[in-house]
Amino acid sequence: MQKLDMNRIALLGALSAVLFGCSLGVAAAEPAAAASRRVVRLNPEGGATAGGVTGWRGPEGGVALRGRALKTDGQGNATAVSGAAVRGPNGGRGARAGTTTVNADGSASHRSAMQAEGGRGSVSSEGSASRDASGNTTQSRTTSVTSAATGNSATTTSSYSKDTGRTRSTLCFDANGATVACPARP
């Protein structure tokens, strides 16, 4: 239950930071501008809670916003969350988010995802990794790309565990979703 509460509080902190960043008015600022805000405070669990947000606007109209938060409990447990979003002056955009938890017993976990799209296509990726208290690790990630020109796409899935080692597979699809042979690498 404590892990869920720490994750929820850290996530709320990151979301608050992002909302604060949106209120900074970076998009309405001068042609090129940046703004940031950071907060650190002690929490009732005997640890600290910290958060920050930074926003930028480029001279050509691109904007970016990044936020992060960290919460510790004074017992050796910590959770960090972060997120970012960008929009380029030519319409490309992307976003990512992640959370990492480290426990006093040495175990840890991480989850993250990203998505981006532009004139040439789109990409998305999500994955996780974990380590138990004995140091055993597992990892998995799935990444998909789609061509804007053809509609063709590819999805790669990779994973790792000490029992199975590293595995990786890629499937390719045409614009209708039918499986096709993947093109050879140049």
- pTM equals 0.79
Strands, E assignment, the chain: 33-42, 48-57, 63-72, 78-87, 93-102, 108-118, 121-131, 137-147, 153-161, 165-173, 179-180
Which of the four pLDDT bands, split at 50, 70 and 90, describes residue 28?
Answer: very low
Dihedral sign of CA atoms 137, 132, 98, 128 in order = positive
Query: What is the greatest pairwise CA distance in the chain?
Result: 57
Which of the four pLDDT bands, split at 50, 70 and 90, describes residue 184?
Answer: confident
For the stretch 146-172, pLDDT in tens is 999 999 999 999 999 999 999 999 999
Average pLDDT over residues 13-24: 47
